[in-house]
Structure 1
Amino acid sequence: MMPGSVEPSKFILLGIIAVVVIYLLSGFYFVQPSEHSVVTTFGKYSKTVEQPGLKWHTPYPFQSNEIVNVTNERRVQVGFRSFATSNSNSGVQDVEDESLMLTGDENIIDIDFVVLWRISDAANYIFNIRDPEATIKIVAESAMREIIGQTNIQPALTQARGEIQSATRELMQRMLDEYEAGVNVNIVQLQKVDPPQPVIDAFNEVQRARQQKEQLRNQAEAYRNDIIPRARGESEKMRQQAEAYKEEVVNQAKGDAQRFVSVYNAYTKGRDVTAERMYLETLEDVLNNANTIILDGNSGSGTVPYLSLNELRTPSSSRSSPQSTEQTGQ
């Protein structure tokens, strides 16, 4: 061996050591705060690393890892596809096979919606569903068809949009949990809810007719709410007036009857006195409004003795009495 030469075995040893070091270093990997790492041993699930930082696992082929972003919100489009055009604008293509659905009252409706979801369990997401995007899209379409099948077309087009979104999200989450998909559905957002394009004009006519019907019904309700209380008030007023008149007539009749009984009782106690009193009261009532004049026929003078008792009693009425006085004198 020549002086200063290195034995070949040492080179081999250094090479082996370098390969081993490189091999061991290949087991290092870095996990970001928004990521989880799923570690498998000979292809079987071993553990999930959730803490961020520099991590290490036994290099391949013993162990391997797959990094999954668990905070990124993913998006699935159902019923349409958006695309970018040449002038940097976005376009939309309708997919009728996905968007046309049957409502609870057997009408067809065209629905486009978006599902926003994220990964909640990285291991289940990797091992339990083969094609996550396609699975979530199929589940979303199935859940929406079921909810729409329980909803009439009129509420679906107007006030029930929020209820449809909430019910679809809950149904999707239950289905994905049954699959153990490791997915959390954040939002189901309706983009378009319309009748099918070929019948949209006829549907709008129906909508206008329904709005007119509703307007007329509201007007009729307003008229009824106005006229019925008024009629009830009038009837109550008439009833109260009738009750008052009834009370008045009954009380007057009772008073007259009581007065007659009193007179009759007095008459039975003193017939002559009562008869005379009644005679005098009757004369008083008769003569009270009579035009009374006294003439003395025994007077021998040339003047006619004339005395008007009415003028003596009511001086203010003397202006209207001469004509009646002359008629009496004649």
Structure 2
Amino acid sequence: MSLKRVYTLAGMVLAAIILIVVLLTSWYTVDESEQALVLTFGDAGEPVVEPGLHFKMPWPVQSVEVLSKETFSLQFGYEEKDGKIKDFPKETKMITGDEYIVLADLVVQWKITDPEAYLFNSDKPKEILYDATSSSLRSIIGSSLIDDALTSGKAEIEADVRDLLTELIDDYDIGISILAVKLQDVELPNAEVRSAFTAVTDARETMNTKINEAKKYRNQRTNEAKGEKDAIISRAKGDKIARVEQARGDVAVFDKLYNEYKSNPEITRKRLVLETLENVLPDAEIYIMKDSGETLKYFPIRQMENQNPPAKQEGSDENE
């Protein structure tokens, strides 16, 4: 075989290899849960987030880095794998603001929002995130009281850790965004301390329950007293109106009597005297006196008043 033919054959093989490389490296696919970053001689362009088949310059002119758009979870202080949980107590042990030792672990949800910064601003962005999480949690726990960390202050601690961690990640500029921070467990380091703290917590809850019951009873009695007060005021107003109306009626009666008295003073005076005597002495017998002062024969007026008039007999009208 001649040397020329060898060179020709080698050139053809090289050309075939180059063609295969060009064909294999001139296109790439992006899934719906992915994002791509095209590098032109190492210089990053705009991220590609549209799913589907995309074309580019062949390697080594352009290369592609494909990253996920999904949400990741960072487990701090423990590791869950194959349904089993492995704790790391040395990482989760920290001191509260009132100098108590607690074990605290949490989950951080994060995602890649700047592929270029994630790829080139740090060698190990996940380790930076883990260290920043540890620093943020220890800082917030270190400024919190033991009661808050173990009971009602967890939500506030979570919010403070999220804010501090977000600030640190923004300063590091590693292309990561913090979505949520969730405390998993905050507990005391041994059983004796946990038992004593549980007793204190139960006593505090009992105290709060008694206080709430006392407030409820106070509110109930206060409402009842207000109701009684309103009822008394309402009755007083009713009595006032009744007495005013009665007084007006008495005045109207007096005015009427006064007008009659002006017209017939003697008759009115005698009638008033007789009505007064009837009211004062309702059971007294009535006698008719002469002008000379002598008593006439007894006339049973009271008995006649009390008797019913006799019923008429049938046919009396015809006889009359």
TM-score, length basis structure 2: 0.64
Shift of 1:271: 6.0
What are structure 1's unaligned runs of at least 5 residues?
Answer: 295-304, 317-330
Q: Is the 8 A contact 1:48 1:122 kept in 2?
A: no
Q: Does 1:239 align with 2:233?
A: yes
User: Using a 3 Å threshold, how does the CA distance of structure 1 residues 155 and 72 change in structure 2: closer, same or farther?
Assistant: same
Q: Is the 8 A contact 2:93 2:101 kept in 1?
A: no
Aligned residues: 290
User: Using a 3 Å threshold, how does the CA distance of structure 1 residues 74 and 24 change in structure 2: closer, same or farther?
Assistant: farther
Shift of 1:135: 0.4
Q: Is the 8 A contact 1:36 1:68 kept in 2?
A: yes
Task: Please list the CA deviations of residues 243-291 of structure 1 after superposition, one character each: whole Å capped at 9, or x if unmatched.
Answer: 3334444554565567667767776787655544444444444564214
Q: State the alpha-carbon separation in 1 of the partners of residues 68 and 282 from structure 2.
A: 116
Q: State the alpha-carbon separation in 2 of the partners of residues 220 and 236 from structure 1.
A: 24
Q: Is the 8 A contact 2:56 2:62 kept in 1?
A: no
Among the aligned pairs, what percent are the same residue? Answer: 27
Q: 5 Å matches for 1:119-198?
A: 119-145=112-138, 168-169=161-162, 172-197=165-190
Task: Please list the CA deviations of residues 124-168 of structure 1 after superposition, one character each: whole Å capped at 9, or x if unmatched.
Answer: 222211321210112223344566678776676567766765665
Q: Is the 8 A contact 1:169 1:187 kept in 2?
A: yes
> Which residue of 287, 291, 306 maps to 1:314?
306
Partner amino acid for 1:234? E
The equivalent residue for 1:6 is 2
Shift of 1:78: 1.3
Q: Is the 8 A contact 1:31 1:37 kept in 2?
A: no
User: Using a 3 Å threshold, how does the CA distance of structure 1 residues 15 and 35 change in structure 2: closer, same or farther?
Assistant: farther
SS in 1 for 2:185: strand
SS in 1 for 2:220: helix
Q: Is the 8 A contact 1:101 1:111 kept in 2?
A: no
SS in 2 for 1:56: coil
The equivalent residue for 2:86 is 92
User: Using a 3 Å threshold, how does the CA distance of structure 1 residues 20 and 117 change in structure 2: closer, same or farther?
Assistant: farther
Partner amino acid for 1:45? D
Compare CA radii of gyration and give the structure with the larger one: 1
Report which stretch shifted further, 192-201 or 27-36.
27-36
The alignment yields a C-alpha RMSD, in angstroms, of 4.7
Q: State the alpha-carbon separation in 2 of the partners of residues 108 and 141 from structure 1.
A: 16
Shift of 1:217: 3.1
Report which stretch shifted further, 201-210 or 261-270.
261-270
TM-score, length basis structure 1: 0.62
User: Using a 3 Å threshold, how does the CA distance of structure 1 residues 196 and 66 change in structure 2: closer, same or farther?
Assistant: farther
SS in 1 for 2:75: strand
The equivalent residue for 1:324 is none
> Which residue of 173, 192, 196 maps to 1:202?
196
